[in-house]
Amino acid sequence: MSTVASPDEDIQVPVPELLGRLLDLNGSDLHLTAGTPPTVRIHGELERLEDYPPLNPRSLQGMIYAILPQKMRERFEQELELDMSYSLPGRARFRVNVFMQRDAVGAVFRVIPFDIKNIVDLGLPPVAADLARFPRGFVVVTGPTGSGKSTTLAA
């Protein structure tokens, strides 16, 4: 979509279209915030989708609310934050965080792959498999956002 619009125009881009674009770019996250075009994270770097217009608060709220079931919408309006999952059938699942930022609704979508890699595929050391086999104990996996904590635990 190569639409040029002012930030005041009500242009709503369907969220599934943006998620499809994220997947086509092999990105990991889609960020939707007021005042900027949709932004994707690719190999750890944030890149604005400049062929989309900056999202104004009213349009952005409409885009996000369009994918929320009524019950989720009500919960968000009460708590002003919401964690949920969303799926594009046959393509991918997403972990979603909907939030308020500068008096506007925003959201971040994180791709959750269908196929779960194993410890060998991830290139983890053999000790990782040993830790997973302990019958008791406590293992802490830490790291910054996007570093592979959930992927490691799933393996």
Per-residue pLDDT of the chain (155 residues; tens, 9 = 90+): 444 444 455 667 899 999 999 999 999 999 999 999 999 999 989 999 999 999 999 999 999 999 999 999 999 999 999 999 999 998 899 999 999 998 999 999 999 877 777 888 888 888 877 887 888 878 788 887 667 777 777 76
Q: Are 140 and 130 in contact (CB under 8 A)?
A: no
Q: CATH number of 15-112: 3.30.450.90, 3.40.50.300, 2.60.40.420, 3.40.1280.30? A: 3.30.450.90
How far apart, in Å, are the Cα atoms of 110 and each of 61, 66, 78, 107, 120? 19, 18, 23, 10, 24
pTM as predicted: 0.76
In whole angstroms, what separates CA 152 from the centre of its chain? 18
- The residue ranges of every structural domain in the chain are 15-112, 119-154
Report the candidate in 33, 107, 54 with the shortest Cα–Cα distance to residue 76: 107
First-to-last CA distance in the chain?
Answer: 38
Which pair of structure tokens corresponds to residue 31?
A: 């960020």
Give the C-alpha separation, 38 to 22, whole Å.
Answer: 10
Instruction: Please list, in sequence order, all residues whose beta carbon lies within 8 angstroms of the beta carbon of residue 5, skipping any fewer than 6 positions away.
Output: 11, 53, 54
